[in-house]
Amino acid sequence: MIEPISETIDESTALLADPLHAALAAGMAVVLALGLHAALFFVLRRFARRTDESADDIVVRHLHRPTRLAFVVLALMMAAREVPELREVWSDIATFVLPAVVGWMALAILRALVEAAKLKADISVADNLKARRKRTKLTMFSRIATFIIVFVTIGLMLLAIPGVRDIGVTLVASAGLAGLAVGAAAQPALKSLIAGVQMALTEPINIDDAVVLEGEWGWIEDIRTTYVVVKIWDERRLVVPTSYFLEKPFQNWTKQTAQLLGTVFLHLDPKAAIGPLREEFLRQVAENPRWDGRVKVVQVTETTRDSKEVRLLMSAKDSPTLFDLRCDIREGMMEWLADNRPQDFAKLRLVEEVDADAPA
For residue range 243-282, what is the model confidence (pLDDT) as tens digits? 888 888 988 887 777 778 889 999 999 999 999 999 999 9
Check pLDDT > 60 for residue 153: yes
- 18, 85 Cβ separation under 8 angstroms: yes
pTM for this predicted structure: 0.55
Res. 11 pLDDT band, cuts 50 70 90: very low
Across the range 132-137, mean pLDDT stands at 77
Helix (H) or strand (E) holding 37: helix 2-50
**CA 160/CA 147 separation, integer angstroms:** 20
Q: Report the pLDDT value the prediction gives residue 154, as an integer from 0 to 100.
A: 83
Average pLDDT estimate for 173-182:
48
Report CA-CA distances (Å) from 209 to 123, 142, 177: 11, 20, 43
Which positions ≥6 away from 116 have C-beta within 8 Å?
A: 54, 55, 58, 59
User: Could you tell me which residue, 194 or 286, shows the higher pLDDT?
Assistant: 286
Pick the residue with more confidence: 190 or 84? 84
Q: What is the pLDDT of residues 112-134, one digit of tens each?
A: 888 888 877 766 655 666 777 77
Q: Are 195 and 140 in contact (CB under 8 A)?
A: no
Task: Give me the pLDDT at residue 14, please.
Answer: 41
Whole-angstrom Cα distance, residue 145 to residue 335?
Answer: 57
Q: How confident is the model at residue 355 (pLDDT cuts 50, 70, 90)?
A: low
Q: How far apart are CA 192 and CA 205, in angstroms?
A: 15
How much is the pLDDT for 357?
56
Query: Is-contact 142 111, C-beta < 8 A?
Result: yes
pLDDT attached to residue 6: 47
Partnered with residue 300 across adjacent β-strands are: 310
- Give the residue-averaged pLDDT of 234-245: 88
Task: Report whether 298 contacts 312 (CB < 8 A).
Answer: yes
d(CA 286, CA 204): 35
Q: Residue 348 — pLDDT band, cuts 50, 70, 90?
A: confident
Q: Of all residues in the chain, what percent carry a pLDDT higher than 90?
A: 19
For 214: left if phi > 0, alpha if psi spans -120 to 50, otherwise beta; the answer is left
Residue 133: the pLDDT is 74
> What does the pLDDT average to over 56-69?
85
Is the pLDDT assigned to residue 146 strictly greater than 50?
yes
Pair 131, 124: CB distance under 8 Å: no
At a CB cut-off of 8 Å and minimum separation 6, what does 110 contact? 142, 145, 146, 149
Residue 335 confidence (pLDDT): 94
Q: What is the pLDDT of residue 173?
A: 46
Quick one: pLDDT at residue 239?
92
